[in-house]
Amino acid sequence: MNTLKITVFFIFFSHINIHFSQNNKIIPEPHKQTIKKGFFYSNESPVIITEYHFNSAATLLKDALKKLNFKSDKKSKKIIKFTINKNLDAEEYTLSVNPKEIQIEASSNLGALHAFQSLNQLILFNNEKGVLKIQSQLINDSPRFKYRGMHLDVGRHMYSVDFIKKYIDGLAMLKFNNFHWHLTEDQGWRVEIEKYPELNNIGSFRDSTLIGHYTDKPWKFDKTRYGGFYTKKEINEVVRYASDRGINVIPEIEMPGHSQAAVSSYPELGCTGEQVGVAPLWGVFKEIYCSKNETFDFLEDIIDEVVELFPGKYIHIGGDEAPKTNWKACGNCQNVIEREELKDEHELQSYFITRMEKYINSKGKQIIGWDEILEGGLAPNATVMSWRGISGGIEAAKMDHEVIMTPNATCYLDHYQAKDTTNEPLAIGGYTPIEEIYNYEPIPDELDESLHKYIIGAQGNVWTEYMKTRKQVEYMVFPRIFALSEVVWSKNKPSFEVFEKKVIDFFPILNDMDINYSNHLERLEE
């Protein structure tokens, strides 16, 4: 057995005013947490003992804890130990705290990473001035859903690699396991593609951006060039960073709609061949990919480069909000409808998605698409992301397809979180307070119990039309992301009142993490 002994400095956020509150409330709520007598007490550096399999979790613990001001004591009798337990599922763990040691058991590094996040919360809440005092307890924990996702749109506004990493840190802390990275849009192409340099020279930049809200007329624009893209080196860095924290990165390459940035770069990809600009405005645009061989050749080349960057199981292909106006007037598209004996343009979209799915499957990947991919017939192996309510998810589950629930009324974090918007940042609209997210149940009542297995999880979506800065993103996400983490992880959520107190207790931690959170937890009206 290969084991490593690592002496570390416990990281104590001494400037956080925490007075041994004995806060054992972890977010999200563990499956089972049994409080026992006694405390793990230490004013010296415990020794970390780990097997090789858990190096990444142990390294995160070491790196996190090294930020605190403890004196090293190589003779310390206090131990934190990682142990393999092959009887546990991949994401399952046990965390045992007693006066002599802290022991983590897991069958995989994923389970060990989740245990680290729980332990880290206990550490953050139960230290003061170089002294650690954690109550003895036993935690047995595993997730309710296998898919626990958060999304970030970088097409409308993009953010630094450092912020993307910080965003991932937030996801990992709350035991999410998928980061959905929305990389292409009408308003900007954000991934480096070597074979088609104009995507980055032209498509990654817009000449102007809308000022104010889309509904404010007449429209006004800032007349300032905006944009950029993530290099392959930067993407590799993000993917590695996420993987080290147990998070899979899912790239989204939109098709056939939301593609004006690509069409502006290569006009021949559109139905008219006319030059169009990268969109300076929000909304839905008629410029979509033409359903012809040249387009499929282009998209297959894109997929070839994308799969080299993202080792995970999924490629998200969009499929939403694709106006058929140009297709109806396009000779190429109409020829395909006739040749393939398709009923209409909706079936043409199904043909388009199915053809791309076949190619993506050949690369060892599976597709995810928004629920519009149901229109005209669902691609054979597709996972459906149900955003226009829950009906799309129900329909897909009845067709024996896996479903990720993300209904916009509940899971869209670009909505206002307060009824009085006077002092709130500009948002797209809607009203989704934290309690509404907390009360969300991903498995619809209407769905037969035999089909529940097809609902593999849920996701929060962050569309950034009105989020120019990372601080705006954080404000819209935190603390509502806490509620969603309880929805997708916890098998026995506490009452909202208990949860609310947990969140408020977490505010000093968010302060220390320099997260610009909303501090009002608005309740639903009776």
Q: Low-confidence residues of the chain, pLDDT below 50?
A: 1-20
Single-letter amino acid, residue 526: E
DSSP 363: T
Do 149-321+357-512 and 3-141 fall under one CATH topology? Answer: no
Dihedral, 206, 207, 209, 211 alpha carbons, nearest 10: 180
What pLDDT score was predicted for residue 2?
Answer: 46
What pLDDT score was predicted for residue 215?
Answer: 97
What pLDDT score was predicted for residue 14?
Answer: 31
DSSP 77: -
Instruction: Give yes or no for a contact between 524 and 410, defined as CB atoms under 8 angstroms apart.
Output: no
Single-letter amino acid, residue 211: I
Separation of alpha carbons 137 and 9, rounded Å: 23
**DSSP string of 203-249, one letter each residue:** TTEES--EES-TTSSS-EE----EE--B-HHHHHHHHHHHHTTT-EE
Q: Which residues pair with 34 in a beta bridge?
A: 138
Count Cα atoms within 13 angstroms, Cβ side, for 227: 28
Separation of alpha carbons 265 and 227, rounded Å: 14
User: Where do the structural domains in the chain lie, given as residue ranges?
Assistant: 3-141, 149-321+357-512
What pLDDT score was predicted for residue 22?
Answer: 66
Q: Which residues pair with 94 in a beta bridge?
A: 105, 140
What pLDDT score was predicted for residue 47?
Answer: 84
Strands 205-206 and 226-227, sheet pairing: antiparallel
Q: How far is CA 447 from the centre of its chain?
A: 26
What CATH code is assigned to 3-141?
3.30.379.10
Instruction: Give yes or no for a contact between 103 and 81, defined as CB atoms under 8 angstroms apart.
Output: yes
φ, ψ for residue 41, nearest 5 deg: -120, 135
Q: What is the pLDDT of residues 330-348, one digit of tens each?
A: 999 999 999 999 999 999 9
Burial class (CB within 10 angstroms; exposed 0-12, middle 13-18, buried 19+) of 456: middle
Dihedral, 190, 193, 196, 199 alpha carbons, nearest 10: 10
Task: List, in sequence order, every beta strand (DSSP E) within 354-480.
Answer: 366-370, 383-386, 403-405, 415-416, 429-431, 455-460
CB atoms within 10 A of CB 218: 4
Instruction: Enter the tokens of residue 135.
Output: 């109550």
Separation of alpha carbons 125 and 12, rounded Å: 9
CATH homologous superfamily of domain 149-321+357-512?
Answer: Glycosidases (3.20.20.80)
What pLDDT score was predicted for residue 440?
Answer: 98
Instruction: Enter the tokens of residue 248.
Output: 């899979």
Burial class (CB within 10 angstroms; exposed 0-12, middle 13-18, buried 19+) of 519: exposed
What pLDDT score was predicted for residue 239?
Answer: 98
